[in-house]
Amino acid sequence: MIERAITRELLAAAAEFPVVTVFGPRQAGKTTLVRTAFPGKPYFSLEYPDVRAAAAADPRGFLAEVPGGAVLDEVQRLPDLLSYIQGIVDEEGRPGMFVLTGSHQPRLHQAVGQTLAGRTAVLSLWPFSLAELRQYGKEWTAFDLVVRGFFPRVHEEDIEPHRFYGAYLQTYVERDVRALINLRDLSQFQQFLVLLAGRIGQVVNLTAIGNDVGVSATTIRNWLNVLKASFVVFELPSWSRNVRKRVVRSPKIYFTDVGLAAYLLRIRTADQAARDPLRGNLYENLVIADIVKGALNRGIRPELYFFRDSRGNEVDLLVRERGVLVPIEIKSAATFSTSFLRGIERFRALGIDDVAPGFVLYDGEPRFRVRGVRVLNPLHLEDPWETVTAPADGD
């Protein structure tokens, strides 16, 4: 069994807060994580109808059976229970009483933020990171991982990716989406997902997608919010010196797990992924998602952007940490070219304070430095987040 990198942060949070809440997509490994980290705690899954019915019928009595607290899995199935948990922790206030997990639902995020404000640490668990996958002792190419993705069951049970993602998508659409929005035509939403995968790593034009699907831009925005709430996609906002412009400008869209994007694009093999016109976008998604995982596994909400100006100058990723902006170019090529430095050098030439030399993350072998920029293969790094946010030093 893989030891999850977030475990240390989870245990540290439980030592300080009476409640710890772990959010994340379905099948990311939340249940295994919390049961492994807290083996002595009573465990209840609110997915089970009988458990949920008992807790709903008599929440005080249900919680009285576990005076020392418990692990409550899939708490989005009964968010009203949070008010009773609040009462208990306000009376007793002991650290590590309750550990909650939740997969989706904006209502749940709101309920946790309001009812348990100041009482809970909130962590996010995504599928495996590159560092976690190394515990298997196997070797994968970047495009192997584009197809396989990072969901634990694909690797733990050696499930064929197309079977896993087909079932995952069907379950997600038929259960979670129907619970969040009133869909009249499931095929339109599925078409929307495919179109979104085809625009991975791009600024998404909601009106254009709406025209293709046959719904309004407002509907597309609502659907996109559902995907974000259920951890299917995440946004990368545009960076500007003017904070107001950062909010106004359209973000780029990436998938939390690149394997799902590859499945939606009907990419079934690593060779096919390596030849696909979107190979660069998929590789970029893999790398950026892994950097996000590295931050979340430390309990950090990363401050990430992309940069593009009116002249077409662009940097794939900007990481802001400790007041320093780190420019990062991401290339799927296996051979380095000095052209990879162009966006970083033009960004640094803007004269912005506290900009690091930057990185090129690409699919080649060597590690070296060119004109101050470190050139690395992210698949060979112990921890991409730690690497790109560490103070600049010599190799």
Q: What is the pLDDT of residues 113-123, one digit of tens each?
A: 677 888 999 99
In a domain, 164, yes or no: yes
Instruction: Give the pLDDT confidence score for residue 392 in this predicted structure.
Output: 65
Instruction: Give the pLDDT confidence score for residue 248 in this predicted structure.
Output: 45
254 strand-pairing partners: 234
33 and 167 inside one domain: no
Region 53-70 average pLDDT: 95
Q: Of 106-110, 136-140, 283-287, 307-311, which has the strongest mean pLDDT?
A: 283-287
Helix axes 206-213, 186-197, angle to 10 degrees: 140
149 and 270 inside one domain: yes
pLDDT over 50 (residue 361): yes
In this structure, which amino acid lies at residue 74? E
Q: Look up the domain containing 351 and give its range.
A: 296-389
Region 207-234 average pLDDT: 92
Nearest to 87 by CA among 56, 122, 60: 60
182 and 70 inside one domain: no
Region 196-213 average pLDDT: 94
Instruction: Give the pLDDT confidence score for residue 245 in this predicted structure.
Output: 57
Whole-number Å distance between alpha carbons of 311 and 191: 33
Q: Are 130 and 255 in contact (CB under 8 A)?
A: no
In a domain, 129, yes or no: no
- How much is the mean pLDDT over the chain? 91
Instruction: Sort strands 359-362 and 324-331 into parallel, antiparallel or unpaired.
Output: parallel
**In this predicted structure, which of 75-89, 139-153, 330-344 has the lowest mean pLDDT?**
75-89
Q: Which of 294, 320, 355 delimits the end of a domain?
A: 294
Cα–Cα separations (whole angstroms), residue 346 to 328, 352, 358, 373, 392 = 12, 11, 12, 13, 19
323 and 364 inside one domain: yes
> Is 0.85 surpassed by the pTM of this model?
yes
308 and 368 inside one domain: yes
